[in-house]
Structure 1
Amino acid sequence: MGTIELNTLRKEFGSLVAVNDLDLTITEGSYTMILGPSGCGKSTTLRMIAGLERPTSGDIFIDGNRVTDYPPRERNLSMVFQSLALWDHKTVRENIAFGLKMDDVPKAEREAAVDEVAEILHIEDKLDQSPASLSGGQQQRVALGRSLVREPDVILLDEPLSSLDAKLRLEMRAELSRIQQRIGTTFVHVTHNQEDAMSIADEIILLNDGELQQFGNPLELFEAPNNEFVANFIGTPSMNLMDATVDAGNATITTDGFALSVPDAICARAGADRVRLGMRPSNIRPVTNGEADDGPSFEATVSMVETFGDANWYYLDTGTDAELVMKSADEEHVRSISAGDELTVGVRPDAIHLFDTDSGEAYS
């Protein structure tokens, strides 16, 4: 169990619309991320699901039951707060068991439940310690254990990784994914970090200014963005975006710096002569003699190279003010391409994105 339906969910704070008529269904047993920039309505949405914030209008259903007016304790969900909210004067065991004790669960049953959860979280040897003596990752496990032990239908997580250093963050997000897959409970996790969302989420709810921009799996958001905001927000580095002109008669898309010869079907997608052209850095690649005919290509000069160990970012000068970025992990490219090199680069036709210049919506 753990299906969550949000029906035209809206939250206003005075004249500010924090969440604007959100309509979606979170799949039972999924790991769903609510993603977006600061102030986009992520935490407000989570707090409405939790019952900590009352919607201005709209409804919330959990497993088909309307819970819009239910207090938090009657929704059969649990929440892990950003601050963790652990009691240092209580042992780890007492922290995890606290909710069960408040529900008058018999001591023997509480002890057995805590032992089982501690074993899942690999903290069975920490139960008699104070949370203050534990590492940040271990404290995260204690906070999660306090939620798991109550066997809720849904676990809500509000930026649980934001206070961790980079290495521990990677370890804990992998651990969260492992735990969620093992227990099968619906997780709804708020984050502003797209790498967290892209790496472990089954579904991503991407918000901006309280509006739903796209809801789908990570690959859908990366390969088929609904609009220019999604295209720009998802992916590292961001999608290359530039103004362009579509000439359907000659099957070309022209920017200030280059022209692409493209299949007729791509031009046919555009709803106007002027568009915004988008290309993912990872979809741009150098082409050698004889390969250019395999797809659209153009000339560029490498102005700068950034090395990240697993891949290089190549900044391409096409003769305009705007630089394009090409991303490659190909060992041959890493060893052979340097600043100052003149290249022919190409992009697969199916990796070309076109957006409306006014609305930013994708032409599909």
Structure 2
Amino acid sequence: MIHEKACSQITRGTMKQIPCVTVIIPMFNEERYIAQCLESVLANDYPKDLLEILVVDGGSTDRSRDIVVEYLQRYSFIHLLDNPKRIMSSALNIGIRNARGEIIVRMDAHALPDPRYISRCIEILRAGIADIVGGRWIIEPGAPTVVAEAIALAVSHPFGAGDAVYRYGGAAGYVDTVPFGAFHKGLVFRVGLYDESLFVNEDYEFNYRVRRAGGRVFFSPDIISRYYARSTLRALARQYYRYGWWKVRMLRKYPAAVRWRQLVAPMFLLSLAAASGGAVIWPIFRIVLGMIFFAYTLASLTTSVIINLRRGSWRTIVWLPVAFAIIHFSWAAGFLSSLIALPFSRLKSQIPKSDRHGIPAC
């Protein structure tokens, strides 16, 4: 619990109030990462008597809760809350409703924030130049394997991540969205809480509403967190299928939020399907189909070679193009499947099978 006296603490010389901060960490079966995450938050240079950590659990069935309970016994400002809905947006809303801090920092159990993460976010928020502040991911492999290494490289490169600058770095400035953002708790009174009808894309949707209300989202490359990517190709495919599926549901609510990059993969998959269908009847389409495959394969292989050359290692040269293909085709398949299912979107059966009982952290 944040100390009430501490919340009125005054910075010497500046006579400015130091804000209390609540870090919200959604969790579901994160026994591999939650201890590292908590240790990283505790290692931040922000005053501990002005810090509150809320771990919101979606009914973990592994040792995640036991690990958090061990920390509860050692730190009075760490609390464990339950998330019956088991979805990310619900976990964040539960955290916000229970937060005592003036500033909310949205964290993830897969993430390890750098020691100045919180204080740097606070500095920018207090400068009054933005409503939401976030930084850069340094994406780490989710397992000590070549496949996991390739996945981490793929999701942190523009060819795989599009123009999401937080995944690969860039200049400080205003952006569409940031992960693990920090904002004043009062912001939710202006734009509302996270949308619990979305199982994924909750950050982008929240950031979009903030921007639509006249707010600004700021990216700073010196705000750094390390994030563990998926460790298997199957997990990567599931992740990006869900991203594509729920992106359609978000765009259905806010058509103006669509970006050209979000349509590239679906259009590519449609062009492949059209060329494949045409090739059955008209031989000319076989040439078109071959050209499409050739162009994509060339782009993927060239990107993979450049990445491996820069790293001075060829360990991932085989698996990196595979990871890129899984990202693109899974996202496109999810997007198009969701479009097809839109007329039946009120039916539970039209929610992806893996998401019908809630989902783990992103």
Query: TM tier, shorter chain?
Result: under 0.3
Larger Rg: 1
* TM-score, reference length from structure 1: 0.26
TM-score by length of 2: 0.26
Question: Of Structure 1 and Structure 2, which has the larger fraction of its residues in strand?
Answer: 1
